[in-house]
Amino acid sequence: MQTTDLLRDLIAFPTVSADPNLDLILYCETLLRDVGAQVELIKDPSGQKANLYATIGRLDRPGVLLSGHTDVVPVVGQDWTVPPFEMTERDGLLFGRGCADMKGFVASAMAAALRAATLDLKTPLHLALSYDEEIGCVGVRSLIDMLAAAPIRPRFCIVGEPTSMQVATGHKGKTAARLVATGREGHSALAPSALNAIHMACDIISFIRDLQDKLAAAGARDPAYDVPYTTLHVGMIEGGTALNIVPNRSEFLFEIRNLIEDDPQQLLAQIRDHAASYVQGLRKNFPQADISIDVTNTYPPLNTDPDSDVVQLVQGLSGHDATLKVAFGTEGGLFSSRLEVPTVVCGPGSMAQGHKPDEYVSVAQLAACDAMMDALLQRLVVGL
């Protein structure tokens, strides 16, 4: 099958992260098993979502892993001019939810796997398709657990997030957390006799902003990133039930996107220590005062040596000598840190088109990805 035909089929599966991806996975499984690939599915507890891991070629030696996620972000509330779950071709562009992020790469990788099955590979080709990447690289972890227990792990990994076919060697890590502030309710006319939980939350937000300012001014720096330092960001806050009631509860969600040089646990510890000291000062008059902080999701940074074998390999395959680091997170950090598999990010399209209405990948970018796959297959026939 051609890559564009596969992409058309993949786009037609509305695999928003909140919904099942199993039909798409079963579609890919059937295609791969029909050409003799070794395929394993790792389902989630509901049985409605699954990762897929496939090997084409020998099972007794490590190969090259092509990794992509199958979930996409929602389209609700976006003003699309084309059907989001039908592929539309116009003026050299292919439109549809996931064309860039990242079903374009998945289609190219699937097409390569089907071609690989007709070849005598000395080095095997592996394919990993995951779920729930968009909500924090959640689904792939069970696949990584499986590979961690396997006798042979992949030698290299290419994560096909959209980089315009440039070779990306790094991205920041991410830690997401929820802070809950507990105060004491009261009538707003007697506000000083109560403890306003929204005010408590805002006081901690002020500390987080000060910590961000310090990192921006004097923290570790990596000029390869658009924002060259670790960032802290508060994205959601809620609290209160009525204007004339002093709220007894407030919560907010915040994140840390850290350079490899910064430990997010140390930054969290600073926030927790400040919160504990702050609460202690309130408890003399308000013994119920409390602040809790719980981590809701975390994934590690990717930081591959630009002189490593995997970088040189993918530079040669893609025809791009330069390297870059991307602002968005990927599953690559998990493959690299958990499995110690040398990993780069390289795929068709641009994240500038992702997560937006009328998402697209160009036909030229998809052809460039197919060319990289053909070059990879030639290397696998000879052997790495």
Cβ neighbours of residue 19 under 8 Å, at least 6 residues apart? none
CB of 334 closer than 8 Å to CB of 140: yes
- Distance from C-alpha of 261 to C-alpha of 221, rounded to nearest angstrom: 9
Determine if the peptide bond prior to 102 is cis (ω within 30°).
yes
- Distance from C-alpha of 27 to C-alpha of 170, rounded to nearest angstrom: 32
The CA-atom distances, in angstroms, between 10 and each of 14, 98, 119, 156 are 9, 9, 25, 25
The first and second tokens of residue 79, run together, are 């003003």
- Distance from C-alpha of 132 to C-alpha of 289, rounded to nearest angstrom: 36
Cβ neighbours of residue 26 under 8 Å, at least 6 residues apart? none
Sign of CA dihedral 202, 206, 212, 213: positive
- Distance from C-alpha of 158 to C-alpha of 75, rounded to nearest angstrom: 28
Cross-strand partners of 235: none
Residue 301 CB neighbour total at 10 angstroms: 23
Residue 339 CB neighbour total at 10 angstroms: 18
- Distance from C-alpha of 28 to C-alpha of 147, rounded to nearest angstrom: 20
- Closest C-alpha to 157, from 307, 3, 346, 326: 346
First-to-last C-alpha distance (Å) of the chain: 26
State the catalytic residues: 71, 133
**How does DSSP assign 272-286, residue by residue?**
HHHHHHHHHHHTTT-
CB of 344 closer than 8 Å to CB of 314: yes
